């Protein structure tokens, strides 16, 4: 007999057919209508399954559509408290609550349940933290294949990693966007821009500067695999799609060699792209477009970084500070 499920386990038994059908329809809507990424789909699926597993023990009965409609805010808060006891941080709790709200709205819009208790519960407060960009010299070192000279790695792999990181810093791409590029998208042979598929399936055009194009051209010249035009631009050691974890590990290795903090990650190169552009007088709305942010408020956080650096310099240098 299986152990009783906890808030962090999946349901050991199948869902009741009406609830299972609603759950599958919701995931299908996220995938096909909302164009959610596979990573987002898996996270949302896991979040709701964890909640339903919690309800099985919390209410001492299998979850049903009627049961979801009868939930009170105290039930949702009990779930969040249980997750907190499991060691889950506020940011993850907010994402889990967002998953539950998305599922609840789907149920309401399709007349399946009144899940207002889920929609109206307030999430935990999250302390606002500023992105931590990497200094320009260190960012350039991370994108240079020469930084890893002497490693027992194939030269083409070093060139590949350098090209991916050059896209993150030189174009402000997310790692998923860089690895989502196809061979025919490569900005070589006079092509000076790329079409990037961002969050929610939104497309944007990103200009490519010469050092980035050169890094990609070097990788393509050395790559031992025949790359199909509609296949991935960046491939792994065996010719398959490249995992983001490979790039993360490469940065971790260089981070130690360069004496950089743990905050120096592939995504920090995207933050560095925005911060360095802004520091050199870049237009905020143009940077918003380059990053693919839906809201200017998201991009404005980089003005806080620039202001905080200015104040730090003032305090350290002004005689009366």
Q: How much is the average pLDDT of 253-274? A: 91
Q: Residue 22 above 90 pLDDT?
A: yes
pLDDT digit string, tens, across residues 169-207:
999 999 999 999 999 999 998 899 999 988 777 889 999
Q: Which residue has the tokens 């940065």?
A: 251
**Judgement on whether residues 140 and 256 belong to the same structural domain of the protein:** yes
Angle in degrees, 0-180, between the axes of helices 301-317 and 266-279, rounded to the nearest 10 = 70
**Judgement on whether residues 36 and 155 belong to the same structural domain of the protein:** no
pLDDT digit string, tens, across residues 56-94:
888 888 899 999 989 998 999 999 899 989 888 888 888
Q: 96, 120, 144 — which closes off a domain?
A: 120
Judge whether 84 counts as a catalytic residue: no
Residue 320: the pLDDT is: 59
292: confidence class by pLDDT, cuts 50, 70, 90: confident
**Judgement on whether residues 172 and 115 belong to the same structural domain of the protein:** no
If one counts the domains in the chain, the total is 2
Q: Which CATH number is 218's domain given?
A: 1.10.443.10
| H helix intervals, the chain | 17-32, 38-58, 65-69, 73-85, 90-109, 116-120, 136-142, 155-171, 175-179, 210-222, 244-258, 266-279, 284-291, 296-299, 301-317
User: Which pTM value belongs to this model?
Assistant: 0.66
56, 106, 160, 174: the catalytic one is 174
Q: How much is the average pLDDT of 148-167? A: 93
58, 105, 140, 199: the catalytic one is 199
Q: How far apart are CA 264 and CA 260, in angstroms?
A: 6
Task: Please state, rounded to an integer, the average pLDDT across all residues of the chain.
Answer: 85
270, 285, 318, 320: the catalytic one is 270
Residue 239: the pLDDT is: 94
Q: Higher model confidence: residue 127 or residue 156?
A: 156
Candidate from 56-60, 120-124, 253-257 with smallest mean pLDDT: 120-124
Q: How far apart are CA 48 and CA 7, in angstroms?
A: 11
Candidate from 120-129, 151-160, 202-211 with smallest mean pLDDT: 120-129
Residue 10: the pLDDT is: 45
**Judgement on whether residues 92 and 166 belong to the same structural domain of the protein:** no
Judge whether 148 counts as a catalytic residue: no
Structure tokens at 225: 């695999």
Judge whether 35 counts as a catalytic residue: no
Judge whether 267 counts as a catalytic residue: yes
**Judgement on whether residues 144 and 257 belong to the same structural domain of the protein:** yes
Q: Is residue 316 part of a domain?
A: no
Judge whether 302 counts as a catalytic residue: yes
Q: Which CATH number is 62's domain given?
A: 1.10.150.130
**Judgement on whether residues 116 and 175 belong to the same structural domain of the protein:** no
Q: How far apart are CA 91 and CA 29, in angstroms?
A: 25
Q: Higher model confidence: residue 196 or residue 311?
A: 196
The residue segments making up the domain with residue 95 are: 17-120
**Judgement on whether residues 153 and 254 belong to the same structural domain of the protein:** yes
């Amino acid at each position: 007999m299986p152990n009783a499920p906890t808030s962090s386990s999946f349901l050991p038994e199948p869902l009741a057919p009406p609830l299972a059908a609603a759950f599958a329809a919701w995931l299908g809507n996220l995938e096909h209508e909302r164009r959610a990424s596979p990573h987002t789909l898996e996270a949302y699926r896991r979040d709701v399954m964890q909640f339903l597993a919690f309800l099985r023990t919390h209410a001492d009965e299998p979850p049903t559509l009627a049961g979801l409609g009868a939930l009170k805010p105290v039930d949702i808060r009990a779930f969040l408290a249980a997750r907190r006891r499991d060691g889950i941080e506020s940011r993850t709790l907010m994402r889990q609550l967002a998953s539950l709200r998305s599922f609840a709205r789907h149920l309401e819009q399709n007349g399946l349940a009144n899940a207002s208790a889920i929609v109206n519960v307030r999430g935990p407060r999250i302390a606002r933290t500023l992105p931590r960009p990497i200094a320009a010299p260190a960012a350039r070192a991370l994108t240079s294949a020469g930084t890893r000279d002497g490693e027992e790695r194939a030269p083409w792999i070093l060139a590949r990693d350098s090209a991916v990181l050059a896209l993150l810093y030189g174009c402000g791409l997310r790692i998923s966007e860089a690895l989502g590029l196809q061979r025919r998208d490569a900005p070589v042979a006079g092509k000076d821009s790329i079409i990037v598929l961002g969050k929610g399936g939104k497309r944007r055009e990103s200009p490519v500067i010469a050092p980035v194009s050169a890094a990609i051209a070097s990788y393509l010249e050395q790559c031992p695999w025949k790359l199909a035009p509609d296949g991935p631009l960046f491939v792994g050691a065996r010719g398959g799609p490249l995992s983001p974890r490979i790039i993360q590990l490469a940065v971790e290795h260089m981070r130690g060699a360069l004496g950089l903090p743990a905050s120096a990650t592939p995504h920090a190169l995207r933050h560095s792209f925005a911060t360095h552009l802004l520091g050199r007088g870049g237009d905020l709305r143009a940077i918003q477009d380059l990053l693919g942010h839906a809201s200017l408020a998201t991009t404005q956080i980089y003005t806080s970084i620039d202001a905080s650096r200015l104040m730090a310099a003032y305090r350290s240098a002004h005689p009366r500070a």
